[in-house]
């Protein structure tokens, strides 16, 4: 049975991206999921940009 990793709410995107570099090469990291994102409540698309930056950092790993 696979378990999901859950991070604390309000973890800053840069902190999460830095933490994920520790998973570089770890075959147990299979996927990440962004949940409860609401573009209508994302003033200035700040959260969308953070998600995009996180995805880009994962591609670079």
Q: Span 33-58, mean pLDDT?
A: 84
User: Where does the pLDDT of residue 12 fall: very low under 50, low under 70, confident under 90, or very high at 90 and above?
Assistant: low
Q: Give the relative orientation of helices 46-60 and 13-20 as an angle to the nearest 10 degrees.
A: 10
Q: Is the dihedral of CA 6, 51, 36, 8 positive or negative?
A: positive
Task: Quote the CA–CA distance of 60 and 3 in Å, as a whole number.
Answer: 24
pTM for this model (two decimals): 0.61
**Residue range 16-27: mean pLDDT, rounded:** 78
* CA-wise closest residue to 47 among 58, 38, 57: 38
pLDDT-derived band at 40, boundaries 50, 70, 90: very high
Among candidate residues 51, 11, 12, the one with its CA nearest the CA of residue 34: 51
Q: What is the mean pLDDT of residues 17-23?
A: 77
């Amino acid at each position: 049975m696979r378990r999901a990793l859950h991070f604390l709410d309000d973890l800053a995107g840069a902190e999460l991206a830095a933490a994920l570099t520790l998973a570089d090469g770890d075959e147990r990291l299979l996927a990440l999921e962004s949940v409860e994102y609401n573009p209508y409540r994302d003033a200035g698309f700040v959260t969308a940009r953070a998600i995009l930056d996180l995805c880009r950092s994962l591609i670079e790993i």
